[in-house]
Amino acid sequence: MRNYQARNFLREMAVGDLAFFYHSSAAATGIAGIVKVVTAAYPDPTAFDPQDDHYDPKSDATKPTWYMVDVKLERKLGRLIRLDELKAQRSLAGMRLLRPGNRLSVMPVEQKHWDTILELE
């Protein structure tokens, strides 16, 4: 992930936080599961490796630009909750994922939106 806003959200994650696992590069996009953050954010080593596709020559090990967290699958959802279904829910109005032009890979989810999504399952 190489987006500053998503990176900032990722650095705010804490061990124990739950997150939705979202399929974004699939034929059917949507929420597929729940993961738990198991490490605090730490520098993304791929940013320092010139052989890696995610190499960033401006990132420095002493002052890293890019971070990552490790997650563990808590559970798969009973079904994929598709993006078009999420968009159809009035109760999800205002959710970052559904705002026009906003397709970040990491973003906060308000509790009311989390609860609504789990009810859809």
Residue among 74, 77, 73, 80 at smallest CA distance from 23: 80
**Residue 74 CB partners (closer than 8 Å, separation 6+):** 18, 33, 34, 35, 36
Q: Which residue has the tokens 């509790």?
A: 111
pLDDT of residue 105: 82
Q: Domain segments of the chain: what residues?
A: 4-120
pLDDT of residue 35: 98
The pLDDT tens digits for 47-90 are: 999 999 999 999 998 999 999 999 999 999 999 999 999 999 99
Extract the tokens encoding 73. Answer: 């699958």
Handedness of CA 106, 111, 113, 114 (dihedral sign): positive
Extract the tokens encoding 76. Answer: 């798969």
Least confident of 1-5, 38-42, 110-114: 1-5
Residue among 26, 105, 21 at smallest CA distance from 66: 105
pLDDT of residue 86: 94
Rounded Cα distance, 21 and 105, in Å: 10
Q: For the domain bounded by 4-120, which CATH number is listed?
A: 3.10.590.10
- Express as a percent the part of the chain with pLDDT over 70: 99
pLDDT of residue 30: 93
